[in-house]
Amino acid sequence: MKVIEVTNLHKRYREHVAVDDVSFAVDEGEIFGVLGPNGAGKTTTVECVAGLRVPSSGTIRVGGHDPVHERDAVRRLLGAQLQSAALPEKIKVWEALDLFASFYPDPADWQALLDTVGLSDKRNTTFAKLSGGQRQRLSVALALVGRPRVAVLDELTTGLDPQARRDTWNLIEQVRADGVTIVLVTHFMEEAERLCDRVALISAGRVAALDSPSALIGQVEAAQRVRFRPSAPVDDGLLLAVPEVVEVLRNGEQVTVTGSGDLAPAVTLALAEKHIIPTDLRIEQATLEDVFLALTGRSLT
């Protein structure tokens, strides 16, 4: 079942087009990624979905409701953690949760939510004294306190150290396991690859591609890279004659071969026939970064 449907969304700020033409649908229970570089229009898109901005044209439905004309219905279904959200410095963690819970007729038990996000021991700490990661986890708890069916999480792990980022990823997976559909806005391809069932790649206000991370990566012609140092000189011609090979690059003694299919065994076999051993052999899969570059000619970062 589709819980969010966005059709031909267009949003302009005066003469500046932030979202040109974006369409996608989110299935109930999935983690749906909105991935793209800064300024691509991701935040504007999800703010329109959350009813915080009015589209210039196009239609949006959340659980069948229009976020502009049926704002209350959408607020009951959707919890948002948005980049702009800031709390007063002096508010304590428990006060923020208690305040947000008071906005909803049937809020979640926020003590349990504090446990879920790992902030039980910070309940009496003021917002000013929380670390970046703790603030992010509090914002997730605040987005969930109204028991939403859908949680929109925007750039949740930006500015976090690697451990805090991994903790936040675990938290997101846990929230999904509880049945909440998640829309995750990010410009980290690793985050999208790790967490998302499907990803919309957004470039300059348009959807450049939409599929599962593995299907998107599978579309890249040279989806694999094999790097090695040959034990004896090797001609490009020998490698390019291997059907799986698309390109051969050299950096000093290191050779990088890109291609598809069973690239590494095919290259190793071709070298073995000439009694050459590939030393320091490394095999790398393409990433969403490569997909984005192939589709748009631009980098994600």
Ligand X SMILES: Nc1ncnc2c1ncn2[C@@H]1O[C@H](COP(=O)(O)OP(=O)(O)OP(=O)(O)O)[C@@H](O)[C@H]1O
Residues forming contacts to ligand X in the complex (CB under 6 A) are: 13, 16, 18, 36, 38-44, 187
Nearer to ligand X, 47 or 244 (CB): 47
Strands 150-154 and 181-186: parallel
* Joined tokens for residue 71: 């704002």
Nearer to ligand X, 34 or 263 (CB): 34
For ligand X, the closer CB: 49 or 150: 49
Minimum gap (Å) between residue 154 Cβ and ligand X: 7
**52/164 with CB nearer ligand X:** 52
Nearest to 174 by CA among 96, 130, 112: 112
Q: Which is nearer to ligand X, 79 or 205 (CB)?
A: 205
76: which 2 tokens? 């009951």
From the number of C-beta atoms within 10 Å of its C-beta (0-12, 13-18, 19+), residue 51 rates as buried
Q: How far apart are CA 28 and CA 32, in angstroms?
A: 10
CB of 78 to ligand X, least distance (A): 18
Q: Cα-flanking dihedrals φ and ψ of residue 23, to 5°?
A: -130, 135
CA nearest 127: which of 154, 100, 150? 100
Instruction: For 213, list phi and psi in degrees, rounded to 5.
Output: -55, -40
Contact between 130 and 93 under an 8 Å Cβ cutoff? The reply is: yes
* CA-based nearest residue to 18, from 52, 43, 50, 49: 43
Q: How far is the CB of 292 from ligand X (least distance, A)?
A: 13
CB of 235 vs ligand X, minimal distance in Å:
45
Q: Which is nearer to ligand X, 186 or 287 (CB)?
A: 186
**Whole-number minimum distance, CB 13 to ligand X, in Å?**
3
Taking the complex as a whole, the smallest distance from the CB of residue 278 to ligand X amounts, in Å, to: 40
